[in-house]
Each structure stands twice: as C-alpha cells, then as structure tokens.
C-alpha cells in the first residue's frame, strides 16, 4: 500500500494495517484511492508505493513514481513544411544569389542552379522560407514519427485500391474471352480442368474461409520448447461471446475486480439461482476440489515443521504427502477410539431416539462458506462490525462508563470525575474533595510564585578554601588573592632554581589573609590521592 508518512504505530494498529493489506490483495476490501481518485494496486511493493520523506506527502499517492515535473519549454509541435513568409519583388542585399531568398545563402540553396542568378536578373525571386527552432525533450528527439502526417497514408490506400480494381478488371476480361471462345467453338461441355480454372477466376481473394471464422476458440501461437522453437496450439479459456465477469454486476458495491491479476474473488451475483449462473467467483474454485486438499497439505507441513519435524513441502513433497496421509489415518483412528470410549461409557442417544423423517426432509438451510480468516465468502449478508469490548458495564460502584468525562487531555468517569480507570466511585463527596484539593494546589502555586518574584538579598562571602583554623567571618578579596597566587608560584620557581633569584632581595614579614590562603591552596597535601596531578 501507499503510505503517506512513516509514523509510529502501536502493535494493534500494525496488525490491523497488515490485515487490511491482505484483504485488499485478496479482493475482499476495496483498493486504496490516491489524491486524484485513482485506485492504487495493492500488489505494488512497499518500496515503490512509499513516498520519500522529503515530499511531505499527507495522503497515499503514486505521484512520486510519475513524471510530475514537466518542463514548460518543451514542445511537441513540428516544422511547418513548405510554409512561406514573404514574397519579394526585387533582389535584396544579403539574399541568396541563386534564387533571391533571404533565409539562406547560395551555398545552401536547394533550387536548381540558374545560368544567371536572381541577383543579376532580378526576376523570379523565390519566397522566404519559414525558419523554426524547437526545444524537444528526450522522447521528442527520438520519436521516429514526430511530424508525420497521418493523412498521407491515404495515398497508400488509394494505390492498393487501384491495384485491386485493375486485378478485378483483368479477371473479368479473361472470363469474357473464355466465354466468347467457348461459344465460337460450340462446345457446350467444357473439360474438368477448364471448369476448375473458371471457378478459380470467380473466387474473390478478399474472402476468408468460413471454417477459419467458426474456429473462434483456437488461437495459434508459437510455443518455445527445449528443442529450439516449435509451433503449438493454445486454447482460449473463454469464448468471446460470453460476458466478461466484471460486466455481470455493474453495481458500485458489488464484488471487487482486480484488473492486474484479472481476479474477482467474491461472487458477483450472490442472490442468483445457482443452477443458472456459470461463474461464482474465484473463491469457489480455490475452496473446492484439489486446491483445498493442497492447501491443507501445506498447512500440515508448516505446523509439523514448527513442532520440530524435519519436513519441507518444496524440498521433499513426497515425504510431506506421505506424512500427511499417515497423520489423517492416525487422526481418524484416534477419533474413532475416543468415540467408542464415550459411547461405551455414556451410551448413544442419537441411535435410540432418531428424529422423524418428515422433520429431516422439511429442514432447509442455506449454504454458508467461510475463508481461512473466518470471513463469510457467500451464503448470507456480511454482518455489521461490532466492538470486541463490553458495552454499558458499570464497575466499582460507578453509574457511568469509562470515557464519559474528559478534562485536561484525560478520560474519566462523569459520576465522580476521576481519571483513574480502576478507581472506586466516591460520588458527589469525591467531586467536592477534588475541587478543594485543586483550589489549595492553585493557592500554593500562587504563593510560591509571589515569593519567587521578591527574593531577599544575600551577601556573597568568599570563604577560605583550606584549613579548619580559619575564622568563619573572614572575607577574601579576589584581586588580592590572584596576586598572592602569582607571588606563590614565583616563590616556588625560585626554590626549584636558585639562578632565577635576584641579588637584591627584600623580605616582607607582613602576611595577609590572601597570602595565607594562597599558601594553603598551593602547598602539597600528602594525603590527597590526586596530588600528582595538581602541579
């Protein structure tokens, strides 16, 4: 099927989508319709029917498979053969020296070369041709019949008709000559060979043998064989005088016809007399005869393979058929043993009290056929779909059903306005309590928002980083702390390399709180597991 966009689907929706696609392929459901109202073939693969994501297709369509971007510059017209534009009276400068036309020169002139050209005689000036240029598309450039005039084929028909008339005239003259010759000689009885020749002359060659016309059901076709091309005869499956199956019932809601596979699964005339109709749908043949037996054989092979048996219908068909026969024999034997055991224990009431013969013969039941999915094929009208959930069932003391109330994108019960599915009904008291709780929650939210709008100012304090003996009321300056850290780094570099120490060294014994903090931050802590990564 053609999907508009790839969206997330639940497992239930995915299962329903697969069932709908299978029903469309089987002909049980109408085909999907695109934007233009055309039916989409359900047998088209998904990689062809799915539109690319960048097209943003909202509805299923196959427009992305067609040529929907047409170039307006392309044309399908052709040259106007023999068209003339202007007839000059005298020679013009730059015209053809031979004929006098302005549309070509003397080198490309197609007229007979004159002894004295029109340039010097100034007579018989040829008219100007119509020059056209076309921009053709890919197909137009390679079209062999582009510009062909279909009316020219009438000349071919006239030529063949003239030949047939001449042949008929000649045959009639020959026949008259033979009759005159026979009358002059006085021969009343001509020879048998002469009679055959006269009969051959009277035969019209355009006639077709009537035996060939009557053999309408026989079609001669070439059939390829392993020997290298032999002729064979293929019989048509339907006589051409019979009504096509898609014309049996022209109602809109009748059986669906798939033109690609030429299949109509349902019966087009379900209410007609079975003795009078010759076609009852393709399912009539699929669910009867050897087709049904072959289907049961395949199902048995699949089930046996799922249960662990090494059986495959395509790999070993004889083995699968033999196992199926043995399975049927064992099944019938087990069924008969079970029946005998039950009859022996409880007795058989069916043999003792038989129904009267007039009741048995008086009953009449209409035949009903089902497909593998349990859907009705024919026999009675399709029932309207019903919900699989129970309706009008009240649980947990509720007086309304679930889904009778909607609020804030949630379903609930109308009797108590609860949004929990398995909740117990509290009635009007529950509604009042819920409203009171909602009002209280709104008041708390409003109070919290009002408190957030007027925050109390707090002073930020830069506390010391290292040491436990530092007073709590100490405040550090960020600029002085940065300078102290630089001094501490310079001191450590001088300790490592004394060559960087200057001769005139001044010591300052005044130690500030920032210097102590810088010392504490830069010193090595032997208990720190990350000490090797600090410096």
3-state SS assignment for residue 406: strand
Mean pLDDT, residues 101-122 taken together = 93
pLDDT surpasses 80 at 500: no
Mean pLDDT, residues 413-435 taken together = 87
Cβ proximity of 480 and 518 under 8 Å: no
Q: What are phi and psi of 223, to 5 degrees?
A: -110, 125
Contacts of 202 (CB under 8 A, 6+ apart): 175
Mean pLDDT, residues 226-248 taken together = 63
N-to-C CA span, the chain: 68
Tell me what pLDDT residue 374 has.
77
Tell me what pLDDT residue 94 has.
92
- The Cα–Cα gap between 321 and 253 comes to 41
List, for residues 30-86, the tens digit of each pLDDT value.
998 888 888 989 999 888 888 888 888 888 888 888 776 666 677 777 888 888 999
Tell me what pLDDT residue 184 has.
84
DSSP 420: -
Mean pLDDT, residues 156-163 taken together = 94
The strand pairing partners of 220, in sequence order, are 233
List, for residues 285-311, the tens digit of each pLDDT value.
888 888 888 889 999 999 999 988 888
Mean pLDDT, residues 484-495 taken together = 83
Cβ proximity of 268 and 245 under 8 Å: yes
Cβ proximity of 124 and 133 under 8 Å: no
List, for residues 1-20, the tens digit of each pLDDT value.
444 445 677 889 989 989 99
pLDDT, greater one: 265 or 381: 265
Q: What is the mean pLDDT of the chain?
A: 79
Cβ proximity of 126 and 101 under 8 Å: yes
Cβ proximity of 288 and 268 under 8 Å: no
pLDDT surpasses 70 at 474: yes
Tell me what pLDDT residue 382 has.
54
Cβ proximity of 438 and 449 under 8 Å: no
Mean pLDDT, residues 312-335 taken together = 92
- Residue 155: CB atoms within 10 A of its CB come to 9
For the entire predicted model, the pTM comes to 0.24
pLDDT surpasses 90 at 145: no
Q: Residue 32 to residues 1, 8, 35, 175, 264: CA-CA distances in angstroms?
A: 7, 21, 10, 69, 17
Q: Residue 147 to residues 76, 140, 141, 482: CA-CA distances in angstroms?
A: 9, 10, 11, 92
Task: Give, for 376, the enclosing helix (H) or strand (E).
Answer: strand 376-378
Report residue 338's pLDDT band, with 50, 70 and 90 as the boundaries: very high
pLDDT surpasses 50 at 150: yes
List, for residues 81-107, the tens digit of each pLDDT value.
888 999 999 999 999 999 999 999 999
Tell me what pLDDT residue 104 has.
93
pLDDT surpasses 80 at 158: yes
Report residue 211's pLDDT band, with 50, 70 and 90 as the boundaries: very low
pLDDT surpasses 70 at 133: yes
pLDDT surpasses 50 at 466: no
Tell me what pLDDT residue 187 has.
57
pLDDT surpasses 70 at 366: no
- The Cα–Cα gap between 59 and 2 comes to 9
Q: What are phi and psi of 181, to 5 degrees?
A: -65, -40
Tell me what pLDDT residue 207 has.
46
């Amino acid at each position: 099927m053609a999907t508009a966009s790839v969206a997330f689907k639940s497992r239930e929706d995915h299962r329903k989508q697969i069932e709908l696609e299978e029903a469309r392929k089987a002909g049980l459901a109408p085909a999907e319709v695109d934007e233009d109202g055309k039916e989409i073939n359900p047998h088209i693969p998904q990689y062809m029917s799915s539109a690319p994501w960048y097209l943003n297709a909202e509805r299923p369509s196959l427009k992305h498979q067609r040529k929907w971007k047409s170039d307006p510059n392309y044309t399908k017209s052709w040259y106007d053969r023999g068209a003339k534009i202007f007839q000059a009276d005298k020679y013009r400068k730059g015209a053809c020296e031979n004929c006098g036309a302005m549309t070509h020169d003397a080198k490309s002139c197609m007229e007979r070369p004159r002894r004295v050209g029109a340039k010097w005689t100034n007579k018989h000036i040829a008219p100007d041709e119509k020059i056209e240029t076309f921009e053709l598309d890919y197909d137009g450039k390679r079209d062999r019949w582009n510009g062909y005039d279909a009316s020219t084929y009438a000349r071919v028909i006239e030529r063949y008709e003239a030949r047939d008339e001449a042949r008929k005239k000649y045959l009639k003259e020959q026949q008259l000559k033979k009759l005159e010759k026979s009358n002059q000689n006085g021969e009343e009885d001509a020879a048998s060979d002469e009679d055959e020749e006269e009969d051959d002359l009277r035969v019209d060659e355009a006639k077709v043998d009537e035996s060939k016309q009557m053999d309408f059901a026989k079609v001669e076709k070439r059939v390829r064989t392993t020997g290298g091309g032999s002729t064979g005869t293929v019989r048509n499956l339907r006589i051409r005088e019979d009504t096509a199956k898609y014309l049996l019932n022209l109602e809109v809601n009748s059986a669906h016809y798939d033109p690609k596979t030429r299949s109509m699964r349902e019966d087009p005339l379900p209410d007609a007399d079975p003795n009078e109709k010759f076609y009852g749908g393709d399912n009539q043949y699929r669910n009867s005869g050897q087709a049904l037996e072959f289907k049961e054989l395949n199902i048995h092979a699949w089930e046996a393979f799922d249960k662990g048996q090494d059986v495959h219908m395509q790999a070993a068909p004889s083995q699968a058929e033999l196992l199926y026969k043995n399975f049927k024999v064992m099944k019938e034997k087990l069924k008969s043993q079970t029946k005998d055991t039950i009859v022996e224990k409880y007795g058989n009431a069916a043999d003792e009290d038989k129904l009267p013969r007039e009741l048995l013969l008086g009953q009449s039941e209409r035949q009903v056929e089902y497909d593998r999915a349990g859907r009705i094929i024919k026999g009675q009208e399709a029932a309207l779909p019903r919900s699989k959930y129970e309706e009008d069932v009240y649980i947990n003391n509720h007086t309304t059903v679930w889904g009778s109330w909607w609020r804030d994108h949630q379903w609930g019960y109308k009797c108590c306005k609860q949004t929990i599915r398995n909740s117990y009904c509290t009635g009007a008291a529950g509604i009042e309590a819920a409203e009171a709780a909602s009002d209280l929650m709104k008041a708390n939210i409003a109070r919290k928002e009002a408190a957030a709008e007027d925050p109390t100012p707090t002073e930020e304090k830069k506390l010391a980083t290292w040491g436990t003996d530092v007073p709590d009321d100490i405040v550090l300056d960020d600029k002085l702390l940065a300078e102290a850290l630089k001094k501490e780094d310079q001191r450590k570099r001088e300790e490592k390399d004394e060559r960087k120490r200057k001769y005139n060294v001044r010591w300052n014994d005044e130690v500030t709180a920032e210097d102590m903090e810088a010392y504490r931050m830069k010193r090595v802590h032997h208990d720190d597991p990350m000490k090797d990564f600090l410096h």
